[in-house]
Amino acid sequence: MAGCHLLFFYWNYLFRRPLVLCFVAAALWWAGPVAAQSAPDSLEGIGQRFAQYGQRMPLEKIFAHLDRPSYVSGETMWFKLYVVAGTTPQPLASSTVAYVEVLNPQQTPVLQAAIALHDATGQGSLVLPPELPSGRYTVRAYTSWMKNFGPEYYFHSTVTILNTRTPLGLMASRPAPRLDAQFFPEGGYLVQGLTSKVGFKITDSSGQSLDATGTVLDQVGSVMAKFSTLRYGMGSFSFTPTKAGAAYRAVLKLANQQTVTYNLPAVQEQGYVLRLEDTNTEQLRVVVQAQGEARTSEKLYLLGHARHQVTVAAAGQLQNGQTVFSVPKRQLLAGVSHFTLFNSRRQPVCERLYFRPPSDTFALSARTNKPQYTAREKVTLHLTATQAANLSVAVYQLDSLSAQAGPDLTSYLWLSADVKGRIENPAYYLKAANSQAADNLMLTQGWRRFSWTNVLTDSTTRPVYPPELHGHLMRGRVVNSSTGAPVAGQMVYLTAPSRFPQLYNALSQTDGSILVEVPDWHGAKQLIAQTDTRQSSAHRVEIFSPFSSHFADSQLAPLVLPAGVAPSLLRRHVQAQVQQQYPPSSPAAYRLPGTDSLPFYGKPTEQYLLDKYTRFKTLEDVMREYVPGVLVRARKDGFHFLIPDQKLRTTMENPLVLLDGMPVFDVNRIMAFDPLKIRQLDVVTSRYVVGPAIHEGLISYTTYSGDLAGFPPDPQALLQEYTGLQGQRDFYAPRYDTPAAAKSRLPDFRNLLYWNPQATATAAHELTLSFYTSDQLGSYRVVVQGLSREGTTGSTSFTFQVKVVQ
């Protein structure tokens, strides 16, 4: 039985024993050769608070491997979830529930599912509604704990969904771009008389990158700098503003000769400028310059960290307005590092990101036994990995709509998850040869998941969303029915009527909130939530959706059909229609875990199957005639139940009364119920604890169907359909391993040949998988993603052909 009393243990576990590796202050604050002197007490104080924040707010990351990049309405989307720690990409088996949603272009959820996580992985599927309009959709995934860090931290991937049964109404070509240019001074500011590197990013109104050239002009039109994009609409240039408050502007020219003018960020009269120089393969130089009489001889502190682990802690003294920090690259962790400059008052004044490509990947190779196959032929897939790893494998047909592959596990965990906004082709930046393009990305899409104000203050505010360590947490609140004001200290009972009763309860907090762990809630059930009407009938219970109501700022590019798309659209349409008319088997139903036949109160003291006794017409006769464990008393206000406690030699009054697991607080109502609808009666003749509540015994009635049999819940009770964890479905594909099966006249137009979210590779042996081709000819892509226990990642893909027999 789970209740709020368990949550207190979870909170203590979370804050006393962090979910991820604890920080060791002595190791973290070692400055080594980074500066000429060790970090002073001021910097140590910053570091200690940062370490404490990291313990209080450990990071999680989640990646979803989708089976395909494009779908047709009515098809099934399959996915595999990988959850890792934020400090290292090792699997993190802390959260036990993940949430997956499909958002339309207006960021309205069209599909939602709660997925059980086991050993830091999970799997599920979503059936796309047949009426879903064509467009570009976003698939996002997150855990309850990740909601504390904002929606930008969730996993996001864009997919294409086509409804081939309705007019598409889509643009056949991309419209003329509307320019959107942003300029980002390195470190954060432009300061009069100091040279800064300025990163820039140029996109159209939908966020698609554009190439351009440009010049920077001063207020009289003199050219101060020239620039051009390097890759994916991004680039950088050096610029020295000569006058504070002056209006500097950038004139951009697109490939179509369109010209647009944008203002650069304002120039400050005084301040700091930080410049990161990647001088050689051994070290970085962080050059700091300051302008202003009070700053030219100031002591500054540089803190570098990656994934909540401090790697650089150094102090420097400004001399003539400049100081230089040398940072050995060997001290930096792989992935995105953050450098923050603090002034002498411990205020963050500049920040800069740096990307170091990961080296902790394992070699993953995949091949088929042949490069070419015919229809309905067996394909043998051979997988080898240099480390034992958990793999997911997808094989789907390539066409003009699915030519662009989805995100890969390696680039997401090491880059995309730590950079704000969409990244075009993130795998490109993992190559050392593309370091300048990666640096432009760091300049323009830098992001920090926390506020230094929260880190440096002594705030002890707990996160709003606790981690779901042992199952799904249901959140809600109790309010006054008339005023809507929160009600504290009110016991709330929650149940879903069933022949096998499960009852949950929680005590509302000062803000009226309730939190209940319901680990065995699977599928859609009728939730009944209510308070004890004997105490007050003026309370109303509200239950919240477990899905996030916040969305990242993003704009999906409109769906533009590529040239020559007609054959692909026709093929997709025929495939969808044939699969619906001639499915390879009946659609696999979601399998829910077996229901525990033992009620939450365990084995009762007394149990009565009423069909074994004389059936009476009133429940009063039933209780008086053959239920000796319960005494029935009629008083002025109606009936009352009393239970003799033989051990304590006392009589308990007002026991907890249940009907199919639903509490009934007015005994008169249950006594008026038709006893012929009751199958079973259980009695617990001792005090019973349900969560934080103690009851004077328990009486449980169970109907034949477990659906209350027409008994009306209390008018104040909340009745709401609540969907718990998704059940499991098996991916089905036909096998043509007999002559009769191979010659079947049933058409097979599958474009997803194979999906396996639970493949396991070992370093010592080759993994062999097999499947059969369909009747569809063409190219097929094999995609394999994998994660080892050590936190190393691997991804690979290749194609093979299905052709007509020559």
Taking the C-alpha atoms of residue 434 and residue 359, their distance in angstroms, rounded to an integer, is: 15
Which residue did the predictor score with more confidence, 206 or 784?
784
Task: Find which of 5-14, 559-568, 579-588 is predicted with most confidence, using mean pLDDT.
Answer: 559-568
Q: What is the DSSP string of 536-603?
A: -S-EEEEE--SS--------PPP-BPPTT-HHHHHHHHHHHHHHHHS-SSSPPPPBPPPPPSS-TT-S
pLDDT at residue 6 in the model: 35
pLDDT tier, 24 (very low <50, low <70, confident <90, very high otherwise): very low
Nearest to 536 by CA among 710, 659, 665, 390: 665
Which residue did the predictor score with more confidence, 276 or 445?
276
622 secondary structure, DSSP code = H
Taking the C-alpha atoms of residue 311 and residue 74, their distance in angstroms, rounded to an integer, is: 50
Taking the C-alpha atoms of residue 314 and residue 30, their distance in angstroms, rounded to an integer, is: 9
Give the tens place of pLDDT for each residue, 508-529.
999 999 999 999 899 999 999 9
Please give the average per-residue pLDDT across 570-595, as a whole number.
71
Of the chain, the percentage scoring pLDDT greater than 90 comes to 63
pLDDT at residue 529 in the model: 97
pLDDT at residue 747 in the model: 87
Please give the average per-residue pLDDT across 71-94, as a whole number.
91
Task: Find which of 11-20, 219-228, 686-695 is predicted with most confidence, using mean pLDDT.
Answer: 219-228
Which residue did the predictor score with more confidence, 312 or 401?
312
Of the chain, the percentage scoring pLDDT greater than 70 comes to 91
Taking the C-alpha atoms of residue 88 and residue 792, their distance in angstroms, rounded to an integer, is: 9
Q: What is the pTM of this model?
A: 0.89
For 432, the 3-state DSSP assignment is helix
Residue 337 has pLDDT above 60, yes or no: yes
Task: Find which of 11-25, 170-184, 582-596, 697-711 is predicted with most confidence, using mean pLDDT.
Answer: 697-711
Burial of 587 (0-12, 13-18, 19+ CB in 10 A): exposed
Residue 607 has pLDDT above 80, yes or no: yes
Residue 19 has pLDDT above 70, yes or no: no
pLDDT tier, 578 (very low <50, low <70, confident <90, very high otherwise): confident
Please give the average per-residue pLDDT across 32-52, as a whole number.
58
Q: Where are the domains of the chain?
A: 473-543, 606-711
Say which residue the tokens 């370091």 belong to. 435
DSSP E strand stretches across 222-268 = 223-228, 234-239, 249-254, 259-263, 267-268
User: Cβ–Cβ contacts within 10 Å for residue 101, how many?
Assistant: 22
pLDDT at residue 42 in the model: 66
Residue 172 has pLDDT above 60, yes or no: no
Residue 287 has pLDDT above 80, yes or no: yes
End-to-end CA distance of the chain: 66
Please give the average per-residue pLDDT across 536-546, as a whole number.
92
Residue 110 has pLDDT above 70, yes or no: yes
pLDDT at residue 36 in the model: 33
Nearest to 300 by CA among 315, 286, 311, 320: 315
Q: Which two tokens stand for residue 480?
A: 């006054």
pLDDT tier, 177 (very low <50, low <70, confident <90, very high otherwise): low
pLDDT at residue 16 in the model: 34
Q: State which CATH number among 2.170.130.10, 3.30.70.260, 3.40.50.300, 3.40.50.150 fits the domain covering 606-711.
A: 2.170.130.10
pLDDT tier, 432 (very low <50, low <70, confident <90, very high otherwise): confident
pLDDT tier, 609 (very low <50, low <70, confident <90, very high otherwise): very high
pLDDT tier, 11 (very low <50, low <70, confident <90, very high otherwise): very low
Nearest to 199 by CA among 247, 232, 177, 222: 232
> Residue 656: which H helix or E strand, with range?
strand 656-659
pLDDT at residue 197 in the model: 95
Please give the average per-residue pLDDT across 23-42, as a whole number.
36
Give the tens place of pLDDT for each residue, 245-255.
888 999 999 88
pLDDT tier, 714 (very low <50, low <70, confident <90, very high otherwise): very high
pLDDT at residue 495 in the model: 95
Residue 89 has pLDDT above 90, yes or no: no
